[in-house]
């Protein structure tokens, strides 16, 4: 397929699917077609269509690097609308962004539109940013690959240092190509399989939905059976201190001294862990995708924001589905700076089983119809 055809096909899918899914704020049809005609076909990502998160995403460092590698931006994706700071769905040009597997559920946020655009096959790749799980949660709930890079590895406008650049991709192979082009440097050798790992269902403080925990545990078992990971015996479960208050203190401008104790202790535990074991496995969220009214008192970020505080790179890979057809994500966490190993591990992972019931719509084939207008904002 030619460069122009790849971009034209992406634009056609957006035109067909986005009115129901509401993943995009803007679509740059004419500009994308013009870029596609001018792309140097020798570039590594020549003609790969991609989306950027939010109205300012095209100005991000990652977007600039992707364009330099020949990729073509086709539009900006939905994020929570004005006045909905903790709302975990996006607001696209056609209305509220919906989960491509179940329109009555949120796709997660804040990189909501990016996750939906990738899950529905509108683009193979989209940029995101992650300050508490904003890439990993929508990746998990839309059944795609999502990665939060090591904090500080790429430029970020977030003055607190909690947020880092991230990506959402249709496959781990596309994520690996993204990292090569955006991070630059020499290509890292793949990890030696099986990778020694520890599984923690709750990090010692979260309370996962039993069915979500079971889906994730089954995904871990498949990784072991496929020879991708080797679970390391431990005398006691790996635990962290609950980072909730520390994260909120830093995000709220309370200063690092407020969170110093929890942060320092968790850093000590994580440094000791990664000194002996290269991979930590957890659920991405303790809950399945909730309704558009919000999760109530349950924090979807319970298992993600610890790694925004610590700065470790982390990825979400599809783990499977709950019985009601909701996607679930498995979180992979590695040492700071070991970002490139995450797509390699994900690439070796066996595919999860299809959703149950089997009649659940595939996102790229049968987009759902949006449900009623949004209700109250959700907690983070």
Q: Which residues are catalytic?
A: 53, 110, 134
Integer Cα distance of 199 and 236 in angstroms: 11
- 102 CB contacts (<8 Å, ≥6 apart)? 289, 324, 325, 326, 360, 368
Find residue 330's DSSP bridge partners: 283, 317
DSSP 57: G
How many whole angstroms separate alpha carbon 146 and alpha carbon 43? 24
Q: Which residues contact 365 (CB under 8 A, 6 or more apart)?
A: none
Sheet of 314-321, strands arranged across: 24-27, 72-77, 49-53, 125-130, 164-169, 145-148, 314-321, 327-333, 279-283, 195-199, 229-231
At 82, give phi and psi (nearest 5°): -55, 135
């Amino acid at each position: 397929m030619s460069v122009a055809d790849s971009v034209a096909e992406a634009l056609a899918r957006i035109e067909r699917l986005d009115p129901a899914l509401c993943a995009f704020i803007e679509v740059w049809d004419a500009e994308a077609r013009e870029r596609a005609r001018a792309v140097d076909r020798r570039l590594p990502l020549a003609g790969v269509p991609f989306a950027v998160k939010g109205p300012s995403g095209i100005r991000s460092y990652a977007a600039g690097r992707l364009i330099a590698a020949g990729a073509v931006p086709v539009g900006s994706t939905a994020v929570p609308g004005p006045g909905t700071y903790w709302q975990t769905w996006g607001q696209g040009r056609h209305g509220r962004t919906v989960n491509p597997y179940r329109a009555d559920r949120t796709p997660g946020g804040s990189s909501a539109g990016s996750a939906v655009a990738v899950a529905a096959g509108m683009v193979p790749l989209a940029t995101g940013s992650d300050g508490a799980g904003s890439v990993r949660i929508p990746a998990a709930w839309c059944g795609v690959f999502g990665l939060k890079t090591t904090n500080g590895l790429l430029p970020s406008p977030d003055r607190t240092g909690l947020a880092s650049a991230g990506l959402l991709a249709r496959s781990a192979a596309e994520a690996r190509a993204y990292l090569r082009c955006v991070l630059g440097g020499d290509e890292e050798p793949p990890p030696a399989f099986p990778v020694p790992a520890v599984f923690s269902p709750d990090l010692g403080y979260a309370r996962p939905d039993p069915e979500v925990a079971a889906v994730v545990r089954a995904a871990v078992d498949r990784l072991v059976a496929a020879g991708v990971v080797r679970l390391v015996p431990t005398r006691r479960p790996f635990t962290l201190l609950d980072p909730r208050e520390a994260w909120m203190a830093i995000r709220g401008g309370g200063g690092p001294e407020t969170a110093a104790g929890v942060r320092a202790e968790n850093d000590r535990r994580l440094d000791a862990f990664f000194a002996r074991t290269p991979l930590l496995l957890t659920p991405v969220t303790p809950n399945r995708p909730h309704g558009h009214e919000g999760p109530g008192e349950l924090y979807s970020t319970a298992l993600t924001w610890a790694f925004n505080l610590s700065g470790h790179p982390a990825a979400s890979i599809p783990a499977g589905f709950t019985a009601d057809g909701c996607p679930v994500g498995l979180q992979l966490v590695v040492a700071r700076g070991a970002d490139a190993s995450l797509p390699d591990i994900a690439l070796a992972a066996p595919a999860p089983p299809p959703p149950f019931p089997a009649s659940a719509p595939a996102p790229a084939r049968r987009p759902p119809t949006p449900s009623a207008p949004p209700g109250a904002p959700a907690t983070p």
